[in-house]
Amino acid sequence: MASSSKRITVYLDNDLHKALRLKSIATSKSVSDLVNRAVRESLKKDKKNYNLILEIMSKPVR
């Protein structure tokens, strides 16, 4: 997990959680890595919003 990561709580349906754990084992990737990749890919599908989010993230927090 990256040192610049943020811890959150996400509630998944039981079947999604089981599938995610099994994929984690099968791919030797952490659940966090799989979730991060899925979210990143989902955001990239909407390129305009993804670019806006990246722009907002680059601004300093007050």
DSSP H or E stretch at residue 3? none
Q: Beta-carbon neighbour count of residue 37 at 10 Å?
A: 11
Mean pLDDT across the chain: 89
CA dihedral 17, 21, 10, 43 (to 10 degrees): -100
Residue 42 lies in a domain: yes
- Residues of the chain with confidence (pLDDT) below 50: none
Residue 23 lies in a domain: no
Question: What is the reported pTM?
Answer: 0.67
Angstrom CA distances, 47 to 23, 51, 53, 56, 61, stand at 27, 6, 10, 14, 23
> pLDDT value at position 5?
87
Q: How many domains does the chain have?
A: 1
Residue 44 lies in a domain: yes
Query: Containing domain of residue 53, as a range?
Result: 31-62
